[in-house]
Structure 1
Amino acid sequence: MNASLSKPLSGSRRHPAALRRGNRRGFTLLELLLVLAILVILGGTVAYNVVGIQAGASEDVTKTNMEKIDTAIKMYQIRIISLPKTLEELRDGPSDADKAKKFPSGGFLEEIPSDGWGNEINYTISGAGFELRSAGIDQQMNTDDDIVVSKK
């Protein structure tokens, strides 16, 4: 029998990948920690940006809804010749019978929109003008982050 055929194959011949790897068995602890740190930084950056985008979107929704209410109030003023006492009057009509005759059947708003955080928009009349106010992201009225539309 041929001697070369009866010899067992060495580990490197049976597993060429083991030969290419050399003595290296895996990643060092330092390499793993470095990769983990990079992933944490990337994850934190993505999370921060997602939260910022959400806050900006809620603010945009609030401003759009306030513009919608502002337009409805102006249409009410033109048609009824006064400001509505409440935002509900934009949907339901005035309680005064003479003013109710001038109110369109569909109203000026189908529903009273809320702000981007799901809270009511505050409506106050001051003299010949009015103010619309959203509590903003902190959901507390009369703080620096309130969103205000004021018309005189």
Structure 2
Amino acid sequence: MKALSTTAKPKAGFSLLEMMVVLVIIGILATIVVINVLPSQDRAMAERARADIRTLEQAVELYRLQMLAYPSTEDGLEALVSGPSDTALAARFPQGGFVRRLQTDPWGNPYQYLYPGELGEFDIFTLGQDGRAGGEGLDADIGNWGD
């Protein structure tokens, strides 16, 4: 018979304390990333809204040049996508419209349009995250009238 060895090899692996230290470090890193990334996302959403509004503003100006008038408030931005019902004006409307499709703002709300505008010749704007006029921060209105 062979004699049993009394020296046991320690098992490989991590102790509970080592695992807890790693989890605390990961939690601290995740907190730092969240604190630094979330404001960037908010700024990116506001900047996307500004870029969309600039694009729509250019499309409205092209509409005016082609159709010899701005779209009415009643027709809204939909006039950039679908042709007018008046057959004389429909001949001037480009195939595919002035924009391919209307985007919603970064918060899922439709962009607003007024003609004549309250702050310019025409107003294109979003009501911000809250969808109500006025507000600050993410709830602030963003429009073609500037900041």
Note the C-alpha offset of 1:99.
Answer: 1.9
- Equivalent in the alignment of 1:69: 56
Q: Please identify which structure carries the higher helix content.
A: 1
Contact map agreement 1:60 1:116 (CA 8 A) in 2: no
Opposite residue 73 of structure 1, the aligned amino acid is V
Matches within 5 A, 1:50-61: 50-61=37-48
1:48 and 2:35 matched: yes
Q: Count how many residue pairs are aligned between Structure 1 and Structure 2.
A: 137
- Using the size of structure 2 for normalisation, the TM-score is 0.70
Distance 2:67 2:112 in 1: 21
Q: Please identify which structure carries the higher strand content.
A: 1
Bigger RCO of structures 1 and 2 (CA < 8 A, at least 6 apart): 2
- Equivalent in the alignment of 2:145: 150
Q: Deviations over 1:98-150 (max 9, x none)?
A: 22221112210111111111110111112681111112233322323111113
Distance 1:114 1:122 in 2: 10
1:137 and 2:129 matched: yes
Distance 1:140 1:37 in 2: 41
Name which one, 1 or 2, has greater alpha-carbon Rg: 1
Contact map agreement 1:84 1:94 (CA 8 A) in 2: no
Note the C-alpha offset of 1:49.
Answer: 2.1
Identity %: 29
SS at match of 2:145: strand
CA change 1:27–1:95 in 2 (3 A) is closer
Opposite residue 146 of structure 1, the aligned amino acid is D
- Equivalent in the alignment of 2:113: 123
Aligned-residue CA RMSD (Å): 3.3
